Amino acid sequence: MLQSVNLRDYMLINPIKVRAEDNLMDAMKVIIDNKISGVCVVDADANLVGILSELDCLRAVLGAVYNRSNVGVVSDHMSHDNLIVAHPNEDIVNVAQDMLMKSKRRRPVVENGKLIGQITCRQLLSAVMKFSN
């Protein structure tokens, strides 16, 4: 079945990302247009500052409807505390197990403080398919 391999071999390189100061509606369009469940949020220097999921967006939209207000910017709704990241040389099996334990669909991959990729459930499933043949 799945062998131990570096995360670098399966991560998405240059994942779709948005900036913290982007309008949330624009970020939602990015998520919808790219058919993804969330995006990494970076600053001008490509440092990871948060993660924005579909659920974060839905929560923001419903809150705005309820409060009759604007949805605001990404930084108002993204997860930013205690972000769990991976290093590109981590073992893919260990990362997959941790993602399952924490019920997370994606894990940003950071090297030297910079976002360089992302691993998602889809990449993990692709790895399993490759090694099951």
Task: Let me know if residue 35 belongs to a domain.
Answer: yes
Domain count, the chain: 1
In a domain, 76, yes or no: yes
Question: Residue 88: which CATH number?
Answer: 3.10.580.10
Model confidence over 18-58: pLDDT tens digits? 999 999 999 999 999 999 989 999 999 999 999 999 999 99
Has residue 65 been placed in a domain? yes
Do 24 and 77 contact (CB within 8 A), yes or no? yes
Short-list 14, 10, 55, CA closest to 31: 55
pLDDT tens per residue across span 59-79: 999 988 887 878 899 999 999
Residue 65's domain comprises 7-132
For residue 1, tell me if it sits in a domain. Answer: no
Would you state the pLDDT for residue 93? 86
Asked whether residue 66 is assigned to any structural domain, the reply reads: yes
Q: What is the pTM of this model?
A: 0.85
Residue-level pLDDT at 5? 78
Would the pLDDT of 1 be above 60?
no
Burial degree of 66 (CB within 10 A; 0-12, 13-18, 19+) = exposed
- Tell me if 25 is assigned to some domain: yes
Instruction: Find residue 47's DSSP bridge partners.
Output: 114
Domain assignment of residue 2, yes or no = no
What's residue 131's pLDDT?
72
With a CB cutoff of 8 Å and minimum separation 6, the contacts of 131 are: 1, 2, 3
Spatial strand order in the sheet of 17-19:
17-19, 38-42, 48-53
- Using the structure block, give the residue that is written with the tokens 């990362």: 95
